[in-house]
Amino acid sequence: MSNELLWNKFLEQVKSSVNSMVYSTWFSKTYLVSIDNNKATIVVPLDIHKKRLSESYGELITSILTSLTGNIYDLEFVLEKEVQIKKETPIIQDNQSINLTPKFKHESNLNPKYTFDTFIVGNSNKLAHAAALAVAESPGLTYNPLFIYGNSGLGKTHLMQSIGNYIQNNSQKRVLYVTSEQFISDFSGIARKDNPNTSESYNYVDYFKDKYRNIDVLIIDDIQFLAGATQTQQEFFHTFNTLHQDKKQIIISSDRSPNDLKLLEDRLRTRFCWGLTVDIYPPDLELRINILKKKIEGNKIDKDIPLDVLEYIASNMTSDVRQLEGAINRLLAYSTIMGGAEINLSLAIDALKDFINKGTSEKTNISKVQKVVADFFQISVDDLKGKKRSSSVAFPRQIAMYLSRDVLNESFQRIGLEFGGRDHSTVMHSCEKIESDIKSTKSIRETVDKIKKNIN
């Protein structure tokens, strides 16, 4: 029986033994390269497949191979490049990328620490993780676009950049990661093309098109911040169409689903649903503990942190991975300050009491700023978000925008989104006006100070 026929029979039995997502993610792109001397050598697409297939499905694979051949085999998982096997289609695509001569220097903006190996998988993110792996294996061919959404701090950026890093490290494809704010900034720069004081202005349009359209993979973070930027949305629409028609991979993240992005154009929201939309939930207790363990392992922390301490942290930090990492850093710093004190549950409770209270209490956010400002001026929050332009509403709105920037350090795009989808330039103007008024007018300065105290 040939290796190909044997593996086809093997895959048929696997299909009946696991669910379709497991099969698609871990088995569908594998094949048998050799089977002799009691060893079966299996080609897999990613390094992470080696670990997962060996640890989670090794017994299943051995059992099925034994039932088909009557022999028991040791398993070896290898990558294509490790057995020097070439696939025609990727080679042709990569050669096309090699022949591409961009006019401007290309930078991916990827952080090399974000990889699949450092991403901790649990029930809350396993679907998104499986989809990301599929895209990494076949960019532009599977799930295009891939749209990942969920609250801040749950690992969307890590997962998207893991895709980009894998593709970049295993092909000649050009990958670009940007935030929507960077896209807006780059597009706004086109307006300078006629500015005689800008020495490089004459080629800025070429630079923009080369950066965003002469690539193989576009990863754009926090797409919700395009809300209110009408011209930028139009440009992104055309960029999206160009890349998608050329079978280039598009990966997008947001803090909400496409259907909830009401301030984006319908034609954009429709396109976001063309591929696959997956969400990431807050991690459960088991995943939070595993994330803490990985944090300790990855940073080579030499202090012993008992399990009951990790459980205490994980039980009190329930919604944000960044809070978990911050808690570990705070605990280690506290131990050092206390003369290298042994880390135990008592020390952890003392070190993290303010941190945990802050994390579990209602935090200051734009909604709170809006409520405090509205109460101070005896108007409604809806007035602040609405379209009324009377001075009794416009002035409080400007103060609320200013305080959202000054107190919370929120981006202009985020503030505009929370104030009825206003353009970031409107927010910027409001902040500059109030800042100027504070310097020149004592009564306004006193008013802002009073509201700040109420917020804090």
pLDDT at 70 over 50: yes
- The tokens for 332 are 């280690």
pLDDT at 101 over 60: no
Q: Name the average pLDDT for the chain.
A: 82
- The tokens for 199 are 């020495």
Cα 418–158–47 angle (5° rounding)?
Answer: 160
The span from the CA of 42 to the CA of 3, in Å, is 10
- Band the pLDDT of 105: cuts 50, 70, 90: low
In this structure, the answer to whether residues 223 and 96 fall within a common structural domain is yes
Mean pLDDT for the stretch of residues 156-171: 92
Confidence (pLDDT) at 19: 79
In this structure, the answer to whether residues 146 and 206 fall within a common structural domain is yes
In this structure, the answer to whether residues 293 and 272 fall within a common structural domain is no
Q: Tell me if 101 sits within 8 A of 137, measured CB to CB.
A: no
In this structure, the answer to whether residues 116 and 77 fall within a common structural domain is no
Write down the H helix ranges in 246-338.
266-272, 285-298, 307-316, 321-337
In this structure, the answer to whether residues 237 and 94 fall within a common structural domain is yes
Phi and psi of 220, rounded to 5°?
Answer: -125, 125
For residue 402, the enclosing domain spans 366-455
Q: Tell me if 146 sits within 8 A of 251, measured CB to CB.
A: yes
**Lowest mean pLDDT across 44-53, 70-79, 112-121, 158-167:** 44-53
List 366's β-bridge partners, or say none: none
Residues 429-447: tens digit of each pLDDT: 999 999 999 989 999 999 9
In this structure, the answer to whether residues 265 and 349 fall within a common structural domain is no
- The tokens for 36 are 């002799």
Domain end point (choices 253, 279, 305): 279
The residue written with tokens 């690992």 in the block is: 155
In this structure, the answer to whether residues 344 and 370 fall within a common structural domain is no
Which CA distances in Å does 211 have to 173, 182, 184, 239, 299?
13, 12, 13, 11, 34
Confidence (pLDDT) at 300: 65
Confidence (pLDDT) at 85: 44
List 220's β-bridge partners, or say none: 178, 252
- Band the pLDDT of 91: cuts 50, 70, 90: very low
In this structure, the answer to whether residues 147 and 231 fall within a common structural domain is yes
In this structure, the answer to whether residues 231 and 97 fall within a common structural domain is yes
DSSP string, 405-448: HHTT---HHHHHHHTTS--HHHHHHHHHHHHHHHHH-HHHHHHH
Confidence (pLDDT) at 104: 54
In this structure, what CATH number is given to the domain that contains residue 314? 1.10.8.60
Confidence (pLDDT) at 87: 40
Confidence (pLDDT) at 216: 94
- The tokens for 416 are 């505009």
- The tokens for 289 are 């503990």
Mean pLDDT for the stretch of residues 21-44: 84
Terminal-residue alpha carbon distance, the chain: 75
Domain end point (choices 360, 391, 424): 360
3-state secondary structure of 127: helix
pLDDT at 144 over 80: yes
Residues 324-377: tens digit of each pLDDT: 888 888 888 888 888 878 888 888 888 887 776 554 444 457 888 999 999 999
Query: Among residues of the chain, what percentage have pLDDT more than 70?
Result: 87
In this structure, the answer to whether residues 254 and 291 fall within a common structural domain is no
Query: Nearest to residue 24, comparing CAs of 119, 169, 126?
Result: 126
Residues 276-333: tens digit of each pLDDT: 999 888 887 888 888 888 878 766 666 678 888 888 888 777 667 778 888 888 888 8
Total domain count for the chain?
4
